[in-house]
């Protein structure tokens, strides 16, 4: 019986020892700055005392503000603008690609007859377009009149290929860097839609054209290519004689009075496996007063200890 009690006591002591080993000690950490008043473009050197396992940094600038670590919202402005870049990688057939917008489309992508009956507004003449491999910026297209509270907006690129033997080989168009932004009062242009969330999809009406095009949507690009040629016995490329038409259409786009920006993110300065970090430098380019915040922490699988240090940095262009 005494032996069992002894074994139990030893086990209990080991358990307590293990629990203590998983507890974090208080973080010993402090920060100082080389200067708290600087000119735009000057480098601020932050010096550290202590050696925590982790250090992260919020500069206090836009999108790196500790006060918005859990997220921020903005009031939307009035202006909405569309921009993109275009290229023509090969081919020679002109006038194939058009940009269209609609508040009339009902969202039925499977009914091609419905798509072509929809009231689409041709915005092609409003944009700048590439004529070769050099990328060309479209310039801004205002969508303000079409992004309304009670209607969805759809964007569409229509790609038509005529008889390639008569009108030339189909041009391979590429559209990239597409986004729709809102002009906010506090943050200027804020991107609301881009290729990651605009929901573009290919509509290729094989039943009408038979000659299949090669349009595609990737993570960052829209690609348009006409029906490919097939080599005849003499080695010459023979293209389908009939015309073809493909569309790439967005998901419904709708504005909101409140823009959810998500959380501001810190920059990681030190991780658990890194050696001690004694200094860190940062450049503030715009005048203003910023709260630089450092969060230092140690952590085990069961416990965490952290300390928060902040320094106010004034950036002034009136310092001589």
With beta carbons less than 8 A apart as the criterion, state whether 60 and 144 touch.
no
Q: What is the DSSP string of 21-79?
A: HTSPPPP--EEEES-SEE-TTPEEEEEEES--SEEEEE-SSTT--GGGTT-EEEE--S-
* Distances 139 to 174, 179, 250 between C-alpha atoms, Å: 16, 12, 20
All CATH 2.60.40.10 domain ranges in the chain, comma separated: 24-71+264-315
Q: Quote the pTM value.
A: 0.72
- Cβ atoms of 269 and 57 closer than 8 Å: yes
Number of Cβ within 10 Å of residue 101's Cβ equals 22
DSSP character for 158? E
* H or E element, residue 251: none
Pairing of strands 80-88, 72-75: unpaired
- How far is the C-alpha of 317 from the C-alpha of 320, rounded, in Å? 8
Buried b (16+ CB within 10 A) or exposed e, 261-280: beebebeebbeeeeeeeeeb
Give the CATH superfamily of 24-71+264-315.
Immunoglobulins (2.60.40.10)
CB 180 within 8 A of CB 253: yes
pLDDT in single tens digits along all 320 residues of the chain: 555 555 555 454 444 444 545 565 678 899 999 999 999 999 999 999 999 999 999 999 988 999 999 998 888 888 899 999 999 999 999 999 999 999 999 999 988 889 989 999 999 999 999 999 999 999 999 999 998 878 899 999 999 999 888 898 899 999 999 999 988 887 888 899 999 999 999 987 654 445 556 889 988 999 998 877 666 677 676 676 678 889 999 999 988 878 888 899 999 999 988 999 999 999 999 999 999 999 999 887 777 889 999 999 999 987 65
């Amino acid at each position: 019986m005494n032996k069992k009690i002894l074994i139990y006591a030893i086990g209990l002591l080991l358990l307590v020892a293990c629990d203590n080993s998983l507890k974090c000690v208080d973080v010993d950490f402090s920060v100082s700055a080389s200067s708290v008043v600087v000119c735009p473009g000057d480098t601020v050197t932050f010096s550290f005392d202590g050696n925590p396992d982790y250090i992260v940094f919020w500069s206090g600038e836009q999108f790196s503000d500790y006060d918005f670590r859990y997220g921020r919202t903005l009031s939307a402005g009035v202006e909405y603008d569309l921009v993109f870049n275009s290229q023509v990688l090969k081919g020679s057939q002109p006038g194939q690609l058009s940009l269209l917008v609609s508040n009339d489309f009902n969202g039925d992508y499977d009914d091609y007859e419905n798509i072509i009956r929809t009231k689409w507004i041709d915005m092609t003449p409003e944009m700048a377009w590439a004529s070769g491999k050099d990328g060309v910026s479209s310039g801004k297209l205002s969508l303000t009149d079409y992004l309304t509270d009670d209607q969805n907006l759809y964007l569409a690129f229509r790609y038509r290929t005529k008889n390639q033997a008569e009108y030339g080989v189909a041009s391979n168009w590429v559209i990239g860097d597409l986004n729709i932004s809102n002009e906010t009062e506090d943050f200027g242009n804020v991107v609301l839609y881009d290729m990651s969330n605009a929901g573009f999809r290919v509509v290729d009406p094989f039943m009408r054209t038979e000659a299949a095009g090669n349009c595609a949507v990737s993570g960052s690009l829209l690609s348009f290519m006409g029906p490919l040629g097939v080599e005849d016995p003499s080695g010459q490329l023979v293209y389908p004689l009939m015309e073809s038409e493909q569309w790439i259409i967005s998901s419904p786009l709708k504005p909101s009075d409140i823009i959810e920006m998500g959380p501001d993110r810190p920059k990681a300065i030190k991780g658990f496996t890194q050696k001690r970090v004694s200094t860190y430098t940062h450049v503030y380019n715009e005048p203003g007063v910023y709260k630089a915040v450092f969060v230092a922490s140690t952590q085990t699988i069961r416990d965490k200890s952290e300390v928060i240090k902040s320094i106010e940095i004034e950036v002034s262009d009136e310092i001589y």
